[in-house]
Each structure stands twice: as C-alpha cells, then as structure tokens.
Structure 1
Amino acid sequence: MAAGGGVRAASSMETPSWAARIRGADGQIVGAGILLSPDRVLTCAHVVDAAAGRITAEFVGATGHSVPSMAAWVDGDAYVPETQDADGDPSGDVALLRLERPRPAEEAVRLHRLSASNRDVRMYGFPEDHNGGIWFRATVVGGCGRDGQVQLIPTSPGELASPGCSGAGVADSLTGEVFGMVLTGQKDAHGNLFSFMTPAETIVRHLHHVHPFTVGRTAVDDRLRSTGDDASDTLLDEPFAQGLAAWLRDDGQQVKISVVRPGDSARAATLRRAITLADRELRTAASVHRASLDPPGTIPSAGGHDLAVDADGLTCAEIAERISERMGLRQHSADLATDGIRDTKATLSLVVVGVDEAVDPPALLDLLEVLRAGGSRLLLVFRTAGALHRRARDELLIRPARERRAQLVERLREITGPLAGALYERRAAVVPDGIRPMDSDLVAAHAALADLTRAEDDPGRGPDRVRYERLAEWVAARLARHIDRLDRLRDRRDELSGRLRGYHVLHQHSAQGKEDPAVDALYLRAHALLQARPCDVRAAEAAVDAYTRKVDDRDGQRRSRLGGSPS
C-alpha cells in the first residue's frame, strides 16, 4: 500500500486493481474509471452521459476468478460536463461515482500532484476488441488550452486513446504513480495523433470531492498565493503582468529573470496574481473572471508553471528535494536529489522567488543551471539587482543565449549551404514532380542568417531568435522531405534504366538483327527521356512501359508463329 492509502499503479505485467470498466444501460463498454477509495470511482462526465442513466462498474484486476460488478451513480453534485468557450476550447468533463458496494481499500489508488512535461506514461483502458483491458503508452508533450489539460503523443499509432479509454488512469511509466485521467483521443486533418488527459490539479479544481484522494504538496508555496487585497487596480503593474503572462504562455524564452524589490507592493501583488492564475488547482472561475477585467495580455495560461517556490530561508538541498518530489523522482536523501534531477529526462516550468534570499544562493544557481541544461524553463525573481543577479543573468541567460545563437547560425549555414546544394543537385537530376519549390523558404533562411550575423549578441533579441529557430526547424524538415522524395525519384529513374537495358538486350536477341522501326522508335524515346537532365521520371516511366509492352507483343507474335509452323 502506498503512503496515504491505496496502492501504486500496477506494474506493466499486472492488470491494475484500480482500473474500472464502465458499462452503460445497454451493456456496452462506454469507458474506464479510477478507483480512488473503496466506494469512489473517478471517470469522465461524457462516460456518464454515454451510460444513459444506468452505470455499471467492473473491476477486471480484482483477485479471484470472477470480475466484480456493481451499480454506480454520480456522487451528489460531483459531475462537471465538458463545456467549450467561444474558441472551442474544452473545459471540465470530470465526474465522481459512488459504488453500490465498497471494494477492498488496498485496491484503490491515489492521485499524485506531479509535473507533466516530457514524461513517459501508460494507461489501462478498454478499447474495442480488448474488453479485458490493455496498456497503451504515450509521452507527455505539455499543457494545452485554458483548462490546464495536457497533450500526449501516442508511442505508436495503435496506442491512440479510443472509445473505451476515456476515464483511464494516466500513470508515470517509471514510478507507476497515477497523476491524471484520459479524456479523449484525436486524429487531426493532417493525420497527427494526439491523446488528451486532465491532470490531478485540474481534476481537484473542478471536483473538490477528489481532494481527500489526492497526495503531494500543492504547486504553489503559501506565501506566493494571491490574496484578496491583490485585486486592487492600483496593485497591478501592467507591463510586468504582460511579461509574466507571456513567459507563462511559453513565449519561447527558456529563462526569464526579474527583480521585485522589498516594498514594491504593486510588483509583488502582480507576481502573486500571475503565479496563482497559472496554477491548475488555484485558478478558479472567479479568479479568472476577476482578472479578465484587467488589461489584455495579462492573464497567463492554466498550467503555465509546474512549481512555484519561495526560496527565502531554504537551503539548496531543501529546494532540490521539493523539485525532485514534484518531478516524481525517487531519492533516498536530499543530497541525492540533484543527481536525480540531472539524470532525468523529465522537465518542468519552475518559478523561484527570492533566489538571493536562499540560505546558499550560489549553490542554488548551480542547481538552476542543472535544470536549465536539462531543458526546464525557469522564471527567477530576485529581491535586489546585485552581484548575484548579474551572475544569474550571465550564466543562465547571456551565455546560453550566445551558445544558442551560435548553434542557430551554424544550423542556418548548413540549411543554406550543404542542404540547399543537395536539393539543387537532385532537382538538376530529376524533375520534381508534385514537389513545391522551396525558393521562398530558402530566401527566408538566408535573410534570417544575415540578420543574426549582423545583430549584436543581445539576449533581448530572444523572441526573434525563437522565431528563427522555428523557421530553421521548418525549413530543415521540408528540405529533408524534399530530398528524400527526389532520391526516390532518382532511384526510380535508375530502375527504369536497368529495365530498359534488359528489355533492349532481349529484343535484339529475339529479333536476330532484324530492324523493327516501331519498336526502335519507342526505345529511342524512352532512352532519351531517361538520359535527359533533369529527367521527367513520370514521362520516362510511361515511355519505358510503352516500349516493354511492344517488345512483349512482338515476342508473343514470334512465339505464336513458331508454334503454328510445321514440325
């Protein structure tokens, strides 16, 4: 049994005891659920709707030879249907069921408050043809939408969350801790596959009934939470609020460093407001409605950060332990927490307030560099713009910006040089049939390279650099696809050349030196098309087909004549 009651998620070799199979009034499987206590099951509101008034919960992972089955119903008002805003952004879709009969307490599982990004996860659902349930895997991409939902990429196309999986528990693949619930799966117009989950904090915000079954410290330290007094118009620093909201919406800046001096009540209140609104659990409808009256661009996204720590009076080891706990890392002592953070591939968006008020600020900066190097996003707030603030800017902002810019320049040089040359070489060899020209993309890459080489290395140019990084990624990906398609056309041209040569030899042998103007004309046309540069592979293929068909016809006619002659 896990601390706080319940069990950890089952290993990949077991059917989890907490996994509930939900059937509707017609006996069909309509979804899944998570046993949070002996008589409570968490599921999606749309699963309840699909059950059409009669819900049956079945526990396929229970011990024994039979599958326990019992009636269930919504627990009072613990039902929040999915709603959509004017942009079609979904919210809610959670419900808590009460069971007719309790299950053994050791079969239940707790929800864990964990960071999500870059985490490998697995879920146990009941898709079509798998009535007994099946594990399916995914990787967390990050938050999406205003409700704090999280996007997953299936490990393979067959592992997309499908009907029968809604309501399934989402467990960390490494620790087995359940930290969210599957909502739905989706294949978009471009063929991309995505699954979506709602994390523990968002569930608790919608359903306070789930709070007793949720473990782990909340993401925001008490002193960083917004208070009623913070709602005053005079306590909003609008430019600061817009900058915070931009970072919390992931504007492309990995590290943001700010100063909030003691006594600056407006800036301090603005910081608390942003941290609170960006937290999945603290962001309530009332707080968002109140903030919506403020200037545009000052409201951050739900899930904009994973953890907000007040460093005042804390040791580096204590902060590392807090981060490690939030990332779901196992450590036997605080001293090993930093090693775990360094070794994990998981990342988080971290807010640290009062960096220069920690017990050992230089050691804390070393820890923050480990997080930055691992890909985590950092919002760091200092109380004074002193030597420590300057060191942080140099080590966490300016030096990485220089390195990142140098890498981008090198990447753009590769794109506009060797990769572009490889593309033009192939376009000179074969006609790029059905392949859109990339001239405008390469012109944009050249312009970005020129801009970067002219500009001074100023971290303030970060947003432009982010745009150029996305451009480089886009152009490089298109170049790779185009080169691959052109290589396949070249390979097809070579195959056709070999086929033409083979048939020509066979024809000459069977014709025994006799001329056949019709066949020879077809051969010469096909040969000319294959030798042309660039080669029109489609036209050459049609010409080779015409030649080989004619050779086959002539050969068939000769065999027919030979077969009909006297022996």
Structure 2
Amino acid sequence: MSDPPAAPFPSDWQLRVRSSDGGTAGAGVLVSPRHVLTCAHVVCAALGVPWEEATTPRPGEPVTVDAPRGGGSWQADATVLDDGWFADRSPWDAAVLLLDGPAPATPPRIRRCGDVDRPGRAVSMVGFAHDELPAGTWSHGILVGRGGRHHEHVQFDVRSPTTTRIAPGFSGSGVRENRSGALIGIVCDADHDDRGFGVSGWMIPVEAVPNVWRGRIESASPPPRDSPRALHDLAVALSEVPTVADPDARKEFCALLDSRVRRRLRTDLPPLLFASRLVGQARDHGLLAEVFTVLDMVEEGSAPMRRAWEAAEALGDW
C-alpha cells in the first residue's frame, strides 16, 4: 500500500520571479494581497530585456511569479504598475507589480528599516540561487549602514563563514528583521567575488519605495517617548523575559551591564519593579539600546524577548 501524497506546506510571502525559459530571474515579496515588490533588474532579467539603470523604460509585458516555498502549483502573471517603476528615479532599482489574481499567502508585517546609524541589527533572507532547491536557501547577516551606489540603500554583511552567500537568485528577496520577523527591505545588489558569491550586500528599505505598502507600513510616529502607557507596557514585557523573571539569571545579566546602570539596580526586586527601574536607569543614561542588545544576546532571540523589542519600539528613537 503506497503512502498518501504529502500535503504541501502553506505558502509564505516570499515569491519567485521566473524567466521566459522557465529559469529563475530573482525573487519578489508580497506587500499587499495583489502587489509584489521586486527589483527592476529582476523584471528585466525575466523578460530578457537589457538592464541599464536610469535609461531602461518601464516594461509593459507581464512576468511570471510563483510560490515554490509553498510546495504547490500557484502561479500568476504580474505587470509593473504605471507608477511602480524605479529604474530612473529613487530608489533606482525597484519595481511594484500587480498580480492578475489573488496572492497565495498573507502579506508580511511591514515596517520601516529606520535608523541604521547603530550597526548590528540581525537580518535574514531566503533566495532562489539553485533551481534544484525550490524552497530556497537562507542567508543571515547584520545591517551595517547606508552605502553602495545610492544613499537610500543599506549595506548588510554576511555574518558567518558557514551561511549562504548572496548569489544570483537573491535579488528581490525580502530582508526580514530577526527580532520582529517583519519585512524591512529587499536585496538589490551584492559585492561578488570571483566565484560569484557575495559576503556584503545592499538592500532597498521599504520606506524608500513610494506607496509600496498602500497604507500598510507601520507608522513612524510612535507614542510620545515619555508616554506612561508605553513605559508601562515595556516594563511588563521585560518582566516576562526569562532572564529578568529569574533572580539568579537576572544577577548574571546585570553583571554584563554598564556600571552606570548596574550600580543603581537591586536584583532582589519583584520582576515588574526591577524591569521598570531597569528601563528608567537605562533611558536616563541613553543606554536602553545597549541594555536590550545585551539581554537579547543572553536570551538568544526568545519569543518573550521579541515581544520586549516590539514594546521598546513604541518609545521611538531611543
């Protein structure tokens, strides 16, 4: 008796753009139930059109998009919007496509990349560099800062010698912020070695593409920095992080903190009171980001830590 066929995995919001010969031109990401964000040069590759930044006109022909990460047979045609071609204007290598039918998945949470002056934010992306691996391969990196050929673009560096390098097939891939899981940009370029592999790449932040989110992007206008509600919510979220909730783990964590914060904290307080005082001391010295980075290192990306990051974002620019 044969085994029943395996059920396909649900598709996610990372799509693939196909070339006219059935190969892979690059990737694209859902930004609404009917819109896909990708690179302009990926569209050109899919159509066999020469790519020349600033001079390539908007293609009128549709490209084929599919969802191999779902393991199913979904496929659609997608056409560049009249106002969705950015080969000749900022951000210089982006295209917004309209699907001819419903998307196979729910669009991701989208948030602004925002400040990149403090390097070290961890990101991940999945690209389609090998046709024999249709579900894609993952690469992990850290944001470094603005750079590349255009000021709008943000550099990321592959952070481990064992992770997948940025190769053809990653262009248009969604850059996911690890701590929130949100889409913050798309891969647009890489610095390749003589084998075609990149250890440094550049992304286009979502906020650099006008109207890409169609009103879905998270607001960049957070509650006031000293909002009592925002501060209370942050303290509650922190108190639920295991390192903060456990007295012994809390002591080890505090030993890693800047002395200006550490010497004013009592580790024998109830978790919520300790978390509230930790937030207050860290903000007084402008060290909240540093405290969160240390705690995140100890927590190794736990779910409560991700919720604490989300609560901290409500305080705006720390």
- Give the TM-score of the pair, scaled to structure 2: 0.60
Q: Return the structure number with greater relative CO, CA threshold 8 A, min gap 6.
A: 2
Q: Which of 145, 155, 158 in structure 1 is aligned with 2:159?
A: 155
Aligned counterpart, 1:180: 185
| Superposed counterparts of 1:207-218, under 5 Å | 207-214=210-217, 216-218=218-220
Aligned counterpart, 2:16: 21
Shift in alpha-carbon separation, 1:118–1:337, aligned structure 2, 3 A: farther
| Superposed counterparts of 1:398-477, under 5 Å | none
Aligned counterpart, 1:121: 123
Query: How much does 1:16 deviate?
Result: 5.3
Contact 1:92 1:147 in 2 (8 A): no
Unaligned runs of 5+ in 1: 1-13, 84-89, 222-308, 322-332, 344-362, 377-567
Partner Cα distance (1:16, 1:164) in 2: 18
Partner Cα distance (2:22, 2:229) in 1: 54
Contact 2:18 2:26 in 1 (8 A): yes
Aligned counterpart, 1:86: none
- Amino acid aligned to 1:193: V
Aligned counterpart, 1:334: 234
Query: How much does 1:338 deviate?
Result: 6.5
Report Cα offsets for 1:390-440 as digits up to 9, x if no partner.
Answer: xxxxxxxxxxxxxxxxxxxxxxxxxxxxxxxxxxxxxxxxxxxxxxxxxxx
- Amino acid aligned to 1:94: A
Partner Cα distance (1:143, 1:317) in 2: 33
Q: Which of 138, 141, 147 in structure 1 is aligned with 2:141?
A: 138
- Amino acid aligned to 2:181: G
Contact 2:86 2:94 in 1 (8 A): yes
1:97 aligns with 2:97: yes
Query: How much does 1:25 deviate?
Result: 2.2
Partner Cα distance (2:198, 2:224) in 1: 40
Q: Report which of the two has the higher share of strand.
A: 2
Contact 1:160 1:195 in 2 (8 A): no
Query: How much does 1:74 deviate?
Result: 0.5
Query: How much does 1:186 deviate?
Result: 0.9
Q: Which of 54, 59, 71 in structure 1 is aligned with 2:67?
A: 59
Partner Cα distance (2:205, 2:136) in 1: 22
Aligned counterpart, 2:283: 367
Q: Report which of the two has the higher share of helix.
A: 1
Report Cα offsets for 1:283-306 as digits up to 9, x if no partner.
Answer: xxxxxxxxxxxxxxxxxxxxxxxx
Shift in alpha-carbon separation, 1:161–1:113, aligned structure 2, 3 A: same
Partner Cα distance (1:337, 1:316) in 2: 14
Q: Which of 157, 160, 169 in structure 2 is aligned with 1:164?
A: 169
Partner Cα distance (2:181, 2:125) in 1: 10
Query: How much does 1:72 deviate?
Result: 1.2
Runs of 4+ more than 4 Å apart: 337-340, 363-366, 372-376
Contact 2:191 2:200 in 1 (8 A): yes
Aligned counterpart, 1:112: 111
Partner Cα distance (2:292, 2:103) in 1: 42
Shift in alpha-carbon separation, 1:334–1:371, aligned structure 2, 3 A: closer
Contact 1:112 1:177 in 2 (8 A): yes
Shift in alpha-carbon separation, 1:138–1:38, aligned structure 2, 3 A: same
Q: Which of 187, 197, 201 in structure 1 is aligned with 2:207?
A: 201
Partner Cα distance (1:15, 1:159) in 2: 24
- Amino acid aligned to 1:159: T
Query: How much does 1:335 deviate?
Result: 2.1
Report the aligned-residue RMSD: 3.4
Q: Percent of aligned positions with the same letter in both sequences?
A: 27
Report Cα offsets for 1:420-474 as digits up to 9, x if no partner.
Answer: xxxxxxxxxxxxxxxxxxxxxxxxxxxxxxxxxxxxxxxxxxxxxxxxxxxxxxx
Shift in alpha-carbon separation, 1:24–1:120, aligned structure 2, 3 A: same
Contact 1:45 1:82 in 2 (8 A): no
Q: Secondary structure at the match of 2:135?
A: coil
- Amino acid aligned to 1:153: D
Report Cα offsets for 1:21-61 as digits up to 9, x if no partner.
Answer: 10122322110001222221111111111122451000113
Partner Cα distance (2:189, 2:35) in 1: 22
Aligned counterpart, 2:55: none
Report Cα offsets for 1:218-265 as digits up to 9, x if no partner.
Answer: 15x7xxxxxxxxxxxxxxxxxxxxxxxxxxxxxxxxxxxxxxxxxxxx
Q: Secondary structure at the match of 2:126?
A: strand
Partner Cα distance (2:113, 2:91) in 1: 20
